Amino acid sequence: MFRISQYMRELAHAEKTGHYPEAVHARRGSGGAPGPVVIWNLIRRCNLTCKHCYALSADHDYEGELSTSEVFGVMDDLKDYRVPVLILSGGEPLMRPDIFEIAERAKAMKFYTGLSTNGTLIDEAMADRVAATGFDYVGISLDGLRETHDHFRRLEGAFERSLAAVRHLHARSVKVGLRFTMTAMNAHDLPALLDLMRAEQVDKFYFSHLNYAGRGNIHRGKDAQFQATRNALDMLFERAWQAALEGREEDYVTGNNDADGPYLSQWVRARMPQWEAPLRERLVAWGGNSSGVNVANIDNLGSVHPDTMWWHHDLGNVRQRPFSAIWSDTSEPLMAGLKAHPRPVGGRCAQCHYFDLCGGNTRVRAQQLTGDAWAEDPGCYLRDDEIGLAAGSDASRVAVTPFRNARQTIRIVAGETHV
């Protein structure tokens, strides 16, 4: 996760005082440091079938999911391993009958406990239960305004229900964030969604770049083009900067594209060049992509993955080995590479002068497009001349091609992809 607002607050402080805050050099997962943030897909069932769902969820039960007592056993191991944060997700986690039992135990064990939901099931009564459980944070997905969101979510009325959930939770003083995944189909709604965030006094805006997993991979041909991505980041940076100057308690964060760090560095160079060097130190300390290091995933069947986008790659299952043993096992080749510092990334990433900030970005996009997890990230939106390579050599880059498999045919008609 890239915390735009954190850096903007530091820059605002620097502008005001003439001093940039000290850099903190620490990477989690080594030397007695805390374990990873665990995103836990406790259930795969969902009442929606969204177009970009990485879990390919549907509204039916899935066999073999972890029982309550198995979940509790894993929680004990996670606590011993110093995991600080559990994000309870799905499918739709509120469809799991024991979700509040699990969340209450997580809170009692002093995990920072988040809930990642589509929000459509949160009426007044459900909001009471969420508030009483004491979730530290609830993330609700909104992919645009009414028409766009309902189209993405494939449910008429989904937007109104999710927005109502935001209001119900706010009324109960629950910290709420909006989660927005941008593609070419909804980029036009971003400004209005940011206005909605402010009007509703939402605490946090999570901007997710599209990653190529599940239905997000099937629809990768509709990923936002690089210029649209840059426009979106410009907008987020400006918003976060103004919020920092005005002292607003709004948080803007991004995920799934670590080129956002280098892009911020360029934004600062153009506006406040005196702070580029100390910001760079901060960004090096952040280190870019953290899949397999600071972020972990456990799926509904107990399989462990480097993050939620790697469901096609199992590291082991908590029914056979504790999470702590699976996570620290670098005999597994993908984990060895992800935990290496620097990572063994090739292509233009290896030559990029931002590699120490970005870490080579999101490995799953490289793997889905090329079959090689250590190829360049095709989702990087920086030009060659911006990353220290000869201008104009972008032509040799890995292209984002539409998804195909043996059972599907895809035809492109007037810019639309038909599966």
Binding site for ligand SF4 (CB under 6 A): 259, 262, 348-349, 352, 354-355, 358, 360-361, 376-377, 380, 382, 387
Q: How far is the CB of 360 from ligand SF4 (least distance, A)?
A: 5
Output the CA torsion sign for 67, 69, 74, 78. positive
Q: How far is residue 327 CA from its own chain's centroid?
A: 20
Cβ closer to ligand SF4: 66 or 364? 364
Considering the complex, state which of residue 81 and residue 267 has its C-beta at the smaller distance from ligand SF4.
Answer: 267
Q: How far is the CB of 255 from ligand SF4 (least distance, A)?
A: 14
Minimum distance from CB of 52 to ligand SF4 (Å)?
21
Least distance from ligand SF4 to the Cβ atom of residue 249, Å: 30
Which CB atom, from 262 or from 337, has the smaller least distance to ligand SF4? Answer: 262
Q: Which is nearer to ligand SF4, 326 or 398 (CB)?
A: 398
In sequence order, what are the residues at sequence separation of 6 or more whose Cβ sits closer than 8 angstroms to the Cβ of residue 113?
85, 86, 88, 103, 106, 107, 134, 135, 136
Indicate the DSSP class of residue 384.
G
Min. distance of Cβ 229 from ligand SF4 in angstroms? Answer: 12
Which is closer to ligand SF4, CB of 390 or CB of 413? Answer: 390
Q: How far is the CB of 376 from ligand SF4 (least distance, A)?
A: 6
Strands (E), 17-63: 37-41
Q: Write out the DSSP string of 96-162.
A: STTHHHHHHHHHHTT-EEEEEE-STT--HHHHHHHHHHT-SEEEEE--SSHHHHHHHHT-TTHHHHH
Query: Smaller CB distance to ligand SF4: residue 185 or 259?
Result: 259
Residue 177: is the preceding peptide bond cis (ω within 30°)? no
Backbone angles phi, psi at 253, to 5 degrees: -135, 160
Nearer to ligand SF4, 224 or 318 (CB): 224
Could you tell me which of 140, 34, 30 has the C-alpha nearest to residue 86?
34
Identity of the residue, 299 or 377, whose beta carbon is nearer to ligand SF4 in the bound complex: 377
All residues at 6 or more sequence positions from 215 whose CB lies less than 8 Å from its CB, including other chains: 50, 51, 52, 53, 54, 56
| 170 and 127 Cβ atoms separated by less than 8 Å | no
- Residue 349 C-beta: closest distance to ligand SF4, Å: 3
Instruction: Identify the CA nearest to 50 among candidates 40, 58, 42, 60.
Output: 58
CB of 128 to ligand SF4, least distance (A): 44
